[in-house]
A and B are shown apart, each in its own frame.
Chain A
Amino acid sequence: MSDTQEPRIGVFVCHCGHNIAGYLDVEKVAKQAGDLPNVVYSVDEMFMCSDAGQQLIKDKIKELNLNRVVVASCSPRMHEPTFRRAVEEEGVNRYMFDQVNLREHVSWCHQNEWDNATEKAWDLVRMSVARTRKLESLPVKTVKVTPRTLVVGGGIAGLRAAMDIAERGFEVVIVEKDSELGGHVRKYTHIFPTDQSGAEILKPLIKDVKKHKRITVMLNNKVTEFDGYIGNFLVTVKNQKTGTEEKLDIGTAIITSGFEPFKPKGYYSYGESPDIITLAELQEIPRSEGLVRPSDGKPVKKLVFIGCAGSREPGNIGHEHCSRYCCSATAKAASDLANRVDEVMILYQDVRTYGRGHEELHRLARANHVIYSKFPRDMKPNVDTTSGEIRITWRDVLAAADLQIDADLLVLSSAMVPPEDIVETSKMFSLTRSPDGFFNPEHIKLAPLTTHTAGVMIAGTAQAAKNASESVIDASGAAAKAVALMAAGEVEIESTVSHVIPDLCSSCHTCVTACPYGAISMDSEHDPPIAIVQEAKCKGCGTCAAACPSGAIVMYHSTDDQIMTMVEAFLCYSPELAKRGESV
């Protein structure tokens, strides 16, 4: 491998047009870098990421036999993959490349300090060169992917994902904790923007899933253990009724564990009268000719909705988000019920009927004489049940008037919140959660359906509050992600993992408990047993290396030496010493 050879480093300093070169002296930085030990070529160039820039790297690798490359340009979070690919095309290992962030970390945030910015850039380049001298090439590894997907949750998203995958020729196992498929949607009498009930919508999908030869449905079951790594997970599923356990080999997983309708205790006297219910509870009342009060069965004359119950509350963690389904669902329910009652009123903070066909529902509600009244965000309506009536008083923003109504039925459009067992689920699959309580995607914009646990996807309301059609879109997307992995049959895994040096391990088990992924175990073949890293499970965080009291753990591509040499290059450099070869 090339790391046994004397390092021959090429340094390429990028102008990024005016973005870097406009705020610091790139020529000077490149020139000084040329004098550093092992640097055989150094240049400043207009755009390193352009075809011409990449070609320059490749040409110089060939011409000068470079075996390591430093590019000083933008953030590696932007172009590291680009340059890694370029050097790899000329036979230089991707881990022999290092990038210096001169744009985001220097020129853009020090726009009026030419000398200081230049000095900082020079320090960073020197640090990178020092690190690069100590880089080691690492193998690019692949593992096989078991062609079977686990779908956790048999709601509308889980069903769609399962069908998509099965149709593409791969096996699926749906694990559902309930005794029936269909999740929340199955229970709803109306699913906007259609006029159908949830059960009607789901019927063909459930039928297809049940009869599909590649889909196994496990009802009354929960996942109790999730072990392994991308392409090779071992799942333990436990039947909640019989207590029997089953182990499954799967390659990928899609979490569609859904939401819970928020029970708004402490909001608008919820719980104090049977005639104060949530929108989800209203949707679960069976269809009938008229609408009657749950308390005494008398017809409802005055029906009132209050929006954002438990949603959009800045400062209230878990309730800061917009639940996204409620404005449209409320508009639909209100317009449907308008002709069965005397008066329908919607008290709202804002109306956000943003989806396709949703604004039409809002218009339909108004056309059906549903009265919309806006209350101020900081002065929510007051609901008082002490008189035996449901008395609502509020401030109407647009009329600038204080109003009052006695409702026969009050419906609270309550938030979507994560189910209680999401804590368990997040631990089991090593998933993180956003402030709204739902699972974090790998990237909010670019990778909304994959997670930081490679091979595990999220879809539907497991990812965020959203409506049924959006959940289905997610499901098809997540299915495509799973299929892509299984169709390829194998997947590249990061080589930046930890490694235990057997001779130094003192069998203390510290790393075993430090690892958040359970990637380290004790190898009992040795006497005494020593720690061993299962590389495909390791994510490369380095917590074990920092925790090891014996210094027995090496973090590939982030070794103690590679880090400390940068610190040294920053702090202990002097041109005189460098000339004598005594300084980094």
Chain B
Amino acid sequence: MTVQTTEKKNGDWEPRIVAYCCNWCSYAGADLAGTSRIQYPTNARILRVNCTGRLSPEFILAALDMGADGVLVSGCHPGDCHYTSGNLKARARWAMMETAIEQAGVNPKRIRLQWASASEAQIFADGVKTIIEQVRELGPIRSEWK
């Protein structure tokens, strides 16, 4: 697979973030951020999945492999999952995944799991900012893959 980078001609680099959001909480929270005209950086591309429980670790690893500088996963708060407990399963897988990517030599700060409900637009937007800042400090992903 060909990894493209976003290095511009003048050498500026902008982090590219894949953001998996669950349909019921965080995707709606991102909608509300828009409706509320909350301004946040443009680096993240939101992918809608039904539930964070849908995300197999492969989705996160493959995104990093394809050149994402960071991956954000945003779901419903524990106890609030539209599907009862999908977010808890995502959380359980998360611990394993952090170890896995660390072993691959990738800084786990490149991935972020957060909870943001449909009414927590600011929390969602702040989470996007946080992952971008974390990744910006680390630099492009291609510097890390071994």
A interface residues, Cβ below 8 angstroms from B:
75-77, 101, 103-113, 116-117, 119-120, 123-124, 127, 430, 432-433, 440, 452, 496, 514, 516-517, 539-543, 545-547, 555, 558, 560, 563-564, 566-568, 570-574, 577, 583
Contact = CB atoms under 8 A, between A and B. Distances in A.
A119 B6 CA distance: 11
A112 B34 contact: no
Contacts of A570: 16, 18, 45, 68
Contacts of A545: 54, 56
B88 to A, nearest CB: 10
Given A103-B34, A574-B4, A542 B50 contact: yes
A547 B54 CA distance: 8
B85 interface: yes
Given A110-B42, A120-B42, A77 B59 contact: no
Given A543-B83, A563-B47, A105 B30 contact: yes
A571 B43 CA distance: 12
Give the interface residue-count category, chain B: 35 or more
A117 B39 contact: no
A539 B51 CA distance: 11
Contact of A432 (B48, B50, B81): B81
B54 A539 contact: no
B2 A546 contact: no
B42 A563 contact: no
A77 B54 contact: no
Contact of B4 (A110, A555, A571): A571
A212 B89 CA distance: 47
A546 B68 contact: no
A541 B42 contact: no
A432 B80 contact: yes
Given A104-B35, A546-B53, A546-B54, A127 B45 contact: yes
A440 B2 CA distance: 46
B41 to A, nearest CB: 8
Contacts of A539: 83
A572 B67 contact: yes
12 contacts: A104-B33, A104-B34, A113-B42, A432-B80, A516-B84, A541-B83, A541-B86, A546-B56, A560-B58, A560-B59, A571-B3, A574-B4
B109 interface: no
Interface centre among A496, A542, A547 (most CB of B within 10 A): A542
A117 B42 contact: yes
Contacts of A543: 51, 53-54, 83, 85-86, 89
